[in-house]
Structure 1
Amino acid sequence: MSQNNFKLVECPRDAMQGLHDYVPTELKAEYLNLLLQVGFDMLDFGSFVSPKAIPQMADTAEVLAQLDLSITSTKLLAIVANLRGIESAVKHQAIDYLGFPFSISETFQQRNTNSSIIQSLKTVEEMLSLCTKNNKKAVVYLSMGFGNPYGDEWNYEIVEKWADVLVTKGVEILSLADTVGVSTPEKIESILPKLISRFNHTEIGIHLHATPAERFEKIESAYRSGVKRIDSALKGFGGCPMAADDLTGNIATEDVIGYLTAKGENLNLNMDKWNEAMVLSGKIFH
């Protein structure tokens, strides 16, 4: 664990991936280098996925080469969606974590990774094996973890079943992901405590999407649920371009910082660097 009680995961990859205008590699690297100095536990910085699917992330390896990791204790996380991506990501010594979106909605798994849930489970097994061989750790996102807009069956038992399967396979970090913003405070507070209690040797996190009006109540519910790992993005930018057509943004990091600080949590963040990143973000997100 980090010095503080919370693992904060900043997600510029999620924020940038759906942007229509291509962000130059140097600007991406400048932004990430600022975020690396803030003191987050982890930076979800890029992805090794098909450039056809996510053109914005085609330069992830080039961006990585420009990151100054001597100035930070923040760990790097890269998203992967298939074996080719996993094999590319594990070659990079600077990457500590590989993240895989494992959807419990069959429709979304096909839409997001072009594979079925069962095929994706095989990919997770391959990822776990390659992570072990290359001294990396796997993070699996249970995407559509709070429901889905496609009419696929969803209930807590389905969430728990797939969590159980993944933990049994050796996954040590699970993040329950609300890909399209359908979570509610009630759902968060009924699901998370049960998962945390049931899988008490597994790190359980949360990756929420929300409209600005809903952010605060969702952060509060996650906190009350006992979650110690929270994904968010500066100013709440982003959303999943493979999901519903109207994007619901990420939880805003400044809201998470504000809420946790008000609760007396010591986050050990460099707010000067954070403010610099906030200013620079205006060049990327406009």
Structure 2
Amino acid sequence: MKLIECPRDAMQGLTHFVPTDLKIRYLNALLQVGFDTLDFGSFVSPRAIPQLRDTAEVLAGLELDDTRTKLLAIVANVRGAEQASAFSAIQYIGFPLSVSETFQQRNTNKSIAQAFEEVDEIQKLCIEGEKQLVIYLSMGFGNPYGDPYSPDLISDFTGELVDMGVQIIAPSDTVGSSTPAHIETLFEQLIATFPTVEFGAHLHARPGEGPAKVLAAYRAGVRRIDGALRGFGGCPMAADDLTGNIPMEDVVETLTNQGVSLHLNQAALQKALALSAGVFM
């Protein structure tokens, strides 16, 4: 079972700038918990995401010698992927590919067709740099724009990505519109159709909805789940302040109740939870 803790997603929309030294302290605390992967930062334009303009400085301050947690950075284009690839400490490069044409344009100022071209280039960079590309299928559970959507559409996108050599794909509930039944149905179809792909679940939810969504993904066979401590973050496009990342503590509790051994350092988890109050004030 792989847990992906996403402080980058949690922090990116904050209106106040989290000081670099505080980011480093918080991320170092998270590195001691035992998560599989830490989505720690992004290499995007500072104009687009000013909160993460210090990602390279933050990376330099991370204590990586005594952690098993791997690092993931988000990029929005080839240039960002080139920047991320220059750092040997980063194992995963994440790219948001929207199944909604409207959101792809709003999120990256590109069409879906152009985004696929970039994915192909980024995948080649990852192979050259011995990194793995993680594709987040934004609006993977529907969209508020009236753009076409169906599980078969997600399968079509997945097929194209597999043909490019992408091995990790995470349908993402960008606006929190999914239901447990929808989650289970989609992942059952994807896992049956593409058994060699590592599918992740990046879900957003309103308070109290997280456990049922996590359980649905787990029952469908998903073994890679994203979350963020205390459920901060989410997508500004959701237009709903109550919709955020699924709290990682809910993910942990739900999976533990299913008998899943997560091998987490509980003391370190509590320390990180305490520190989060100062980050997300």
Q: TM-score, normalised by structure 2?
A: 0.98
Partner of 1:197: 192
Picking from 129, 133, 136, the partner of 1:134 is 129
Q: For residue 61 of structure 2, what is the amino acid of its counterpart?
A: Q
1:264 Cα offset (Å):
1.2
Counterparts of residues 86-101 of structure 1 (less than 5 Å): 86-101=81-96
Partner of 1:53: 48
Confirm or deny that 1:112 pairs with 2:112.
Answer: no
Partner of 2:240: 246
1:163 Cα offset (Å):
0.7
Measured in 1, the distance between the counterparts of 2:78 and 2:214 equals 34
1:71 Cα offset (Å):
1.6
Measured in 2, the distance between the counterparts of 1:216 and 1:94 equals 32
Measured in 2, the distance between the counterparts of 1:134 and 1:189 equals 35
Confirm or deny that 1:32 pairs with 2:32.
Answer: no
Picking from 26, 47, 68, the partner of 2:63 is 68
1:185 Cα offset (Å):
0.9
Q: For residue 25 of structure 2, what is the amino acid of its counterpart?
A: E
Partner of 1:78: 73
- 1:245-283 alpha-carbon deviations (Å, 9 max, x no partner): 224200010001011111111111001011001001111
1:157 Cα offset (Å):
1.4
Partner of 1:3: none
Measured in 2, the distance between the counterparts of 1:36 and 1:198 equals 34
Q: Is contact 2:176-2:238 (8 Å) kept?
A: no
Q: Is contact 2:123-2:133 (8 Å) kept?
A: yes
Partner of 1:211: 206
Confirm or deny that 1:44 pairs with 2:51.
Answer: no
Q: For residue 259 of structure 2, what is the amino acid of its counterpart?
A: G
1:101 Cα offset (Å):
0.3
Picking from 137, 145, 148, the partner of 2:140 is 145
Partner of 2:18: 23
Q: For residue 245 of structure 1, what is the amino acid of its counterpart?
A: A
SS in 1 for 2:92: strand
1:225 Cα offset (Å):
0.9
Counterparts of residues 150-161 of structure 1 (less than 5 Å): 150-161=145-156
Measured in 2, the distance between the counterparts of 1:137 and 1:83 equals 14
Q: For residue 239 of structure 2, what is the amino acid of its counterpart?
A: D
SS in 2 for 1:69: coil
Picking from 8, 18, 23, the partner of 1:13 is 8
Confirm or deny that 1:230 pairs with 2:217.
Answer: no
Give aligned-pair identity as a percent.
Answer: 58
Q: Which segments of 5 or more consecutive residues in structure 1 lack a partner in the other structure? A: 1-5
Measured in 1, the distance between the counterparts of 2:77 and 2:107 equals 11
SS in 2 for 1:18: coil
Q: Is contact 2:215-2:255 (8 Å) kept?
A: no
- 1:191-216 alpha-carbon deviations (Å, 9 max, x no partner): 10110111100101100000012112
State the aligned residue count: 280
Q: For residue 98 of structure 1, what is the amino acid of its counterpart?
A: I
- 1:36-76 alpha-carbon deviations (Å, 9 max, x no partner): 01000000000001111110010000000000100201000
SS in 1 for 2:169: strand
1:244 Cα offset (Å):
2.8
Q: Which segments of 5 or more consecutive residues in structure 2 lack a partner in the other structure? A: none
- 1:94-114 alpha-carbon deviations (Å, 9 max, x no partner): 000000000000000011111
Partner of 2:277: 282
Q: What do you get for the CA RMSD once the two structures are aligned?
A: 0.8
